[in-house]
Amino acid sequence: MQMLMNMLHVDSGAELWWVVFGLAAQLMFTARFLLQWIASERAKDSVMPVAFWYFSLIGGVMLLAYALYRRDPVFILGQALGVFIYARNLWLIYAKRRAQPSPSE
């Protein structure tokens, strides 16, 4: 365990778990690109699946939490803006769906 802590430059178990959380957040955030790539390859067109925005939002919130813990103002500002944009895109997607008549109408 000490070797892992040294490798990650952390001094405590709590700090280690925050670094693990930050790495998991980054993986979640990166997964959105893999998801978009796979969806585009299947469609043989550039597409942006709704799940892309969910992965963006979840990863962004996780990274924002990590940035707040680290007290990094640059990281906080970048993630806070991104979280707002991802949430707004999901809002627009669902507002459009609500406005469309259902097939039974």
Query: What tens digit of pLDDT does each residue of 37-58 get?
Result: 999 999 999 999 999 999 999 9
- Output DSSP code: residue 103: T
In whole angstroms, what is the distance from residue 23 CA to residue 16 CA? Answer: 11
Q: Which residues of 64-77 are buried (b: 16+ CB within 10 A; e: fewer)?
A: bebbeeeeeeebbe
* Count of domains observed in the chain: 1
With cut-offs at 50, 70 and 90, classify the pLDDT of residue 105.
low
pLDDT value of position 102:
72
More confident residue, 90 or 15: 90
Q: Is residue 104, in this structure, part of any structural domain at all? A: no
Q: What is the mean pLDDT of the chain?
A: 91
Q: What is the pTM of this model?
A: 0.81
Is 105 part of a structural domain of the chain?
Answer: no
Domain that includes residue 26, residue range: 2-99
